[in-house]
Structure 1
Amino acid sequence: MKLLVAGGDPVDAGKTTFAVGLAARLRADGSRLSVFKPRAGNDRWFDHDDVRRAAGESRLYGKDIDRLLRAADSDASHERRNPIHRLWRPTPGETGVLGESGRTFLVDRVRTAAGDEWVMNGTAEVPSRLRDDLPLAGARRVDSVRAFNDAMRELHLPALDRLADDVRDAGESGVALVESYGDVAMPLRGVGFDAVAVVDPGRCRVYDGDRWALARETATGDRDEGALEVHVDRVTAMLDPLSTHDLRPLTGEEQGDPDAVASAYRDAYGELLAAARDR
C-alpha cells in the first residue's frame, strides 16, 4: 500500500502532524511501515534551533522527517528517507538567484548513490559557522538558474528517482507513507498511490489515488516536465473528494504525541485506509 499526504496550503497546512499520527496508527495496526519525505527545507532564521542541531552533527535535516521516523519507530537514516534538504535565509525585499521572493537558498544537501553531495549558492555568503560545521569544502557552487538546473539534472532528479524505487518496493511488501512538500501535488515521478490525503488547517480531504494521478497528468498535459511542481489546488479543482473530515486543533502536548494525534484524527485515518484497501 502506498499513501500520500499532501498540503492544501503552501505553509503550515498541518500535513506533518497528520502524517505523524497516521504513522502511529499504522504502527499500532502492526503494519510494516516505511516513511518518506522526498524534499524538505529549513530557514536559518525561523528554524535556527533545528539548523544548529543538525549542523552540529555535520548534517542537514529537519524536524519533519525526524518526527516521521520516530512515529514509525524506524531506524532508517534521515538522509535516506529525505534525500533533498535545502537551507534558506531571509532576504527581505530581495529576489534570490532562483527567483525566490524575500529569501534565497544557501545550501542543498542531496543524497546520491555514493553519499551526500552539497550544492552551494555561489552568489550568497554562507555564514562562517555553517561553513565550519558542514562538509562544504568540495561543494558544487551554482551562480545562475542554468547552473542550478544542471545540478538538478545530475543530482536532485536521480536522488528522487532512487527514492521512488524505495517507495515502490516498500509499498509492495508493506505500507509506504510519503509526505509531500509545500503544496506540491505529486512529489515523485512514476509512483502511483492507493489513496491521497490533502490536509488544510482544520480539514482533511480523502481522494482515490488513481483519480489523483489522472488529474495531475491532466494538469500538466501528461508531460513529465514541470510535473513535480503542480500545486494541489489545480488537482483538487478537478476532483470531488471521497470524504471530507474536520480536524480539530491540537495542543502542543498532543502534537508532540503521535498516539494522541492518531486518536484525535482516527475517523479521517479510517476513511483514508479504507479508500486505499478498497481499490
Structure 2
Amino acid sequence: MILLVVGSDRVDAGKTTFSAGLLERTGAVGYKPRAGNDYWFDHDDCRTAIADGRLYGKDAARLAAAEGRDRAPERLNPVHRLWQPSTNGGTGLLGRSDREFLVDRIGRSPGEPTIVRNATVDLPDAVADALPLADAIPVETVDELNAVVQREYVPAFEALAADIEAADLAVVESYGDIAQPLSALDPAAIAAVAAVEPGRARIYPGDRYCRACEIASSSPKDGTLEKRVPDVLDYLKPLERVRLPPLPGDDRADPRRIADAYAPAYDALLDAVKRV
C-alpha cells in the first residue's frame, strides 16, 4: 500500500518535511524516485555527497534518516540529477534557459552507480574530480538522452516500483510539482494522496487522483511531458483540507516533532485509506 506525497507548489512546498513526519507516524518505508539539486544553490549538500564520490540530495537523506532503517539515500532514490545555473544563455540540452543539467546518477548502490554526463557543458572541477566519470555515458542531444533513458533509467524505475509495491506500507515523495513521480507504479496500489503546499495539505483518495492524472493535460518538464499537480487537482475535490502550521528549524529536523505538529493531516490521510 502506498501513500503518495506530492507538492502543489513548485518550490519548497514542504513535501519532505511532511513525508519525514509521516514515516515517523506510520513506520512505513520511504522512497523518492527522482531527485535533484543545484551545484550552486545547494552547494553544501552537493559537496557533502561528492566528498565520498557519491551523488544524492538532502531530501533523500532526510527520508532515509526518518525511516530509521540504516539505508543509504541512494536506496530510496535511484535517479538523482545535478544542475547548475546556466551561464551561456540559450535553452541548453533539456530546453531550460535558467539552468543546465550536468550529471545524473542512476542506481541504488552507493558504490556502483551509472553516471550520465551532459557532454555539452564543462563540469565544475570538484564534480569532475570526485565522481567516477571514466565510465560515464556522455550525451549531447535529446535523442541520445532519450535512448539512455529507455536503456538505463526505465529498468531502474521498474525495479524500484516492484520494491515499493511489495512493501506493506510505503511513503513515496514526488519531486517539484510533478503529479506522478513513478509511472511504473500500479495506480491500484496508491491508497491515498496528500497534496502539500505552504500552510496546508489537501487529502485525496488514490483511485480518484490517479484517474484525474489520466485526463489532465501534460506540461513540458526537463525535456519530457509530465502531469503537474495543479493541473490534476483542477479535476478533484479534496476529502479534507488540513492546516499545516509553520515549524521552526529544530522541529523540521525532528520527525517526531513533525508527526506531532502535523497529526491532524496524518489522521485525515489515514482516514482516506480506510475509505478504500
Instruction: Give the TM interval when normalised to the shorter protein.
Output: over 0.9
Q: Confirm or deny: 8 A CA contact 2:34 2:79 kept in the other structure.
A: yes
- Shift of residue 219 of structure 1? 2.0
Q: Within 2, Cα distance between the matches of 1:80 and 1:17?
A: 19
Q: TM-score, normalised by structure 1?
A: 0.91
Identity of aligned residues (%): 48
- Shift of residue 112 of structure 1? 7.0
Whether 1:176 and 2:170 are equivalent positions in the alignment is yes
Aligned twin of 1:109: 105
Q: Within 2, Cα distance between the matches of 1:115 and 1:60?
A: 11
CA deviations 1:201-229 (Å, max 9, x no partner) are: 111000000001111112269xxxx9972
Q: TM-score, normalised by structure 2?
A: 0.92
Q: What SS is found at the alignment partner of 1:160?
A: helix
Aligned twin of 2:138: 141
Look up the equivalent residue of 1:140 and give its one-letter code.
Answer: I
Relative distance call for 1:228 and 1:181 in structure 2 (3 A) is farther
Equivalent residue runs for 1:121-136 within 5 Å: 121-136=118-133
Q: Confirm or deny: 8 A CA contact 1:35 1:177 kept in the other structure.
A: yes
Relative distance call for 1:205 and 1:49 in structure 2 (3 A) is same
Aligned twin of 1:34: 29
Any unmatched runs of 5+ in structure 2? Answer: none
Q: Within 1, Cα distance between the matches of 2:18 and 2:144?
A: 36
Whether 1:254 and 2:251 are equivalent positions in the alignment is yes
Q: Within 1, Cα distance between the matches of 2:127 and 2:174?
A: 27
Whether 1:268 and 2:262 are equivalent positions in the alignment is no
Look up the equivalent residue of 2:81 and give its one-letter code.
Answer: R
User: Bigger shift: 123-132 or 40-49?
Assistant: 123-132
Q: Confirm or deny: 8 A CA contact 2:76 2:108 kept in the other structure.
A: no
Aligned twin of 1:67: 62
Match of 2:38 among 33, 37, 43: 43
Q: Confirm or deny: 8 A CA contact 1:187 1:228 kept in the other structure.
A: no
Q: Within 2, Cα distance between the matches of 1:236 and 1:101?
A: 28
Q: What SS is found at the alignment partner of 1:270?
A: helix
Match of 1:203 among 170, 187, 200: 200
CA deviations 1:182-204 (Å, max 9, x no partner) are: 11111112332100000011110
Q: CA RMSD in A?
A: 1.8
CA deviations 1:167-191 (Å, max 9, x no partner) are: 1001xxx211100001111111233
Q: Within 2, Cα distance between the matches of 1:80 and 1:191?
A: 20
> How many residues were matched structurally?
267
Q: What SS is found at the alignment partner of 2:181?
A: coil
